[in-house]
Structure 1
Amino acid sequence: MTLRDLPPFRADHVGSLLRPAALLEARAGFAAGDITASQLRAAEDSAIRDVVRMQRDVGLRSATDGEFRRTSWHMDFIYRLGGIHPTDEKIQVHFRNAGGELDFESAALAIDEPVRLTETIFGDDFSYLAGLVDADVTAKLTIPSPSMVHYRGGRAAIDPAVYPDEEEFWADLSAAYAEQARRVYDLGCRYLQLDDTSLAYLNDPAQRALLTSRGDDAEHQHLRYIRQINAAIGDRPAGLSVTTHMCRGNFRSSWAAEGGYDFVAEALFSELAVDGFFLEYDDERSGGFAPLRFVPPGKMVVLGLVTTKRGELESKDTLKRRVEEASKYVPLDQLCLSPQCGFSSTVEGNVLTYDEEVAKLALIVETAEEIWG
């Protein structure tokens, strides 16, 4: 066994990284009208140059822009799809953490025109990133999966005058994603990640009850989502590696859902046509490794054993032991190692320091080299 030449890599990461203070100050200045859009862009460019250098220095073979130009990991993308707009209505998402509870509020969305791709979303952002990476590092683009467009509002968010038949909505949505994948490939993207909390949330009985209460078919929702993701990536260009990342919520070191992967595992692992699965496995909320028995040969599993929710550094021996436990269900050669989520899914970031973030990424690289190198 050796370090992999194709994504996902033996040592990898999810995507978002802590925003530096200077970037947060620039964003605040732009919001207040004190600096221009071009000045904000310059501040973002500078911060991204530094964070790409950090990823290279710790030994990662993939690099993202840290999602530094985004406020939210998913809504910044979704609102740029044609036909989807924010509304005045607010959605509350309830989060929990080791110290208590908190709520995240964001605008609801309305699908009030046919869904379509009107621009290459994050195209310029990816091109800037690609121009910074070394030849032996692969630039990764992270976007929310098609499921996230539906999960936030369900059927109620879709204007029946636009889509009297929901099948037409799904067809348009998958077509828009397929076109996005083709366009970013043409820009040089060879590593695309679809971030998806919905497929992990559906393992939580409380989340399924919430969906049932709004009229959705919670017991079969994951099957629909798997079909639509497959429709979006089924004709992807040869040479484009696609992974998905699933977690149970990540906002200021808090989470929204709990439960192992058992409910979705058989269909998810055997049917979803991605090259690899980034799976949250940092604590007991994620359940055990037994669901991995459904992973077929050839699919990679990236074990998210290192938490991004606190700064305490994991033990290398513990990480090795847990990888060994997982290898009882899926061969060691199909396993990789990563953090369980991003470090800053929203602009606020999780409760740890930059140095702690770097130490965790370095630990992942070192541990992976000792296991597979």
Structure 2
Amino acid sequence: MTDFARATHVGSLLRPPRLLQARAEHAAGRLPEPELRVIEQESILEALAVQRDSGIGPYTDGEYLRTDFMSRLTEHVDGFAEQAPSLEWQSGDRTEEDSSILRLVGGKLAYRERFTDREAALLATHAPGPYKISLPEVTNFVIANWDAQVSGPHYPSRGDIVEDLSAVLQQEAAALAADGVQHVQIDAPCFIAFANPRILALLESEGIDPRALLRRCIEADAAVVRLLAERGVRVGMHICRGNYRGQWFNEGFYDDIAADVFGGVPVDHWLLEYDTERAGTFEPLQHVPAGTGVVLGLITTKTGELEDPDDLARRVDEAARFVPLDSLAVSPQCGFASEVQGNPLTWDEQRRKLDLTAAVAERVWGTA
């Protein structure tokens, strides 16, 4: 992993107020599309400058062209309904239901048009160094976007959407490789659903074998990864527990899925949430194949409180008991804004988190 950044981040950044206002004005019909695009590009340039100044890489566009981390796909692929699922989000002291993000599967899923081409073009033109494009993966949709009434007439079981989604992702992945994109990140917040007792009970109530469904999703993701790897693209996969305005969706440790997931998806590196005790220990990292990198998501994006760099360096040392230090890196645990409103921290707090990430990498490895 020595050719990959020791200090990286998952991708999304808080949207500047000017961008949020421009989006609202455009939606209301008061701002023409060309003017919105100018503001989007200027906002992305600001995001790139923040990453450059912090020493974070590879670069992203902050996901500033997205409403949420999956929205580019759901807006440009046939088969998604206008209805949104109602998801239970956890915050530690309460549970909230919210349906303002995501869209239910409501028809046969089919690739209609490119959905990351503009992001790739902007980064190819403006990124000061290596950049990455993120794609969602099939498990997200299997867990969060299937509904018996809305999706069932087209896909009787939630697992039935797996192959069609994988085909969609493979088409976009092939196009990204043709664009010359060298780094792709696949975001998988719902793998932990297969370690979540609440979700496991739900699947079993539907007559689904959770382990068989997990392995079906793994193989679908592996097909996307293999396609990219065959075209010379480096691939990372990010696993967290959901990230919505400082809340999370899933509970569970890596232990229950590590052997299947780490051994089954042939990525170059994993980006793993490890900012709280909800993630468990580093012991499951023993299932990561030799030569595969691990980015430790030690720094939370859910609050603005700054972590102790001594504690972070100590935790890197702990992880090095299971993965060689030369195969490790550090990052925030997830994006700062997986959907447009973002997490409850300020722009300055976000910058300090990125600076801290780079400082820890410098301390541990002598370089970011």
Map of 1:1-373 to 2, 5 A cutoff?
A: 4-6=2-4, 9-82=5-78, 84-88=79-83, 90-106=84-100, 108-113=103-108, 115-134=109-128, 137-154=129-146, 156=148, 158=151, 170-236=162-228, 237-373=230-366
Q: CA deviation at 1:306?
A: 0.2
Residues 167-225 of structure 1: CA distance to partner in whole angstroms, max 9, x if unpaired? 98544432322221111112121111111111022211112112223443223322111
Question: Does the 8 Å contact 2:9/2:332 carry over to 1?
Answer: yes
* Superposition deviation, residue 154 in structure 1: 4.2
Q: State the Cα distance separating 1:359 from its structure 2 match.
A: 0.7
How many residues of Structure 1 are paired with residues of Structure 2 in the alignment?
Answer: 363
* Secondary structure in 2 matching 1:351: coil
Gaps of 5+ in 2: none
**1:86·1:108 contact (CA, 8 Å) conserved in 2?**
yes
Distance 1:304 1:356 in 2: 17
Letter in 2 for 1:207: I
Secondary structure class of the residue paired with 2:257: helix
Q: Greater CA deviation, 30-39 or 265-274?
A: 30-39
1:268, distance to aligned residue in structure 2 (A): 0.9
* Partners of 1:201 and 1:281 in 2: CA distance: 16
Cα distance in 2, alignment partners of residues 158 and 206 from structure 1: 21
Measured against aligned partners, the alpha-carbon deviations of 1:62-100 in whole angstroms (never above 9, x if no partner) come to: 111101111111133234223x22244x41111121453
Q: Does the CA-based 8 Å contact 1:253-1:310 persist in structure 2? A: yes
> Contact (CA 8 Å) 2:188, 2:240: kept in 1 or not?
yes
SS in 2 for 1:62: coil
**Would the aligned equivalents of 1:208 and 1:219 in 2 still touch at CA under 8 Å?**
no
Q: Is the 8 A contact 1:12 1:336 kept in 2?
A: yes
Does the CA contact (< 8 Å) of 1:30 and 1:40 recur in 2? yes
CA RMSD of aligned residues (A): 2.1
Contact 1:154 1:216 (C-alpha < 8 Å) held by counterparts: no
Task: Tell me how far apart the structure 2 counterparts of residues 166 and 242 of structure 1 sit (CA, whole Å).
Answer: 26
SS at match of 2:119: helix
CA contact (8 A) 2:159 2:213 kept: no
What SS is found at the alignment partner of 2:134?
Answer: strand
What is the SS of the residue equivalent to 1:91?
A: coil
**Distance in 1 between the 2:245 and 2:336 partners?**
9
> Where is the strand percentage greater, Structure 1 or Structure 2?
1
Q: Give the fraction of aligned pairs with identical amino acids, expressed as a percent.
A: 38
* SS at 1:243 equivalent: strand
Question: Counterpart amino acid of 2:176?
Answer: V
Pairwise CA distance, 1:4: 2.8
Runs of 4+ in 1 over 4 A off after TM superposition: 157-160, 162-169
Distance 1:363 1:87 in 2: 40
User: Matched residues in 1 for 2:115 and 2:14: separation?
Assistant: 22
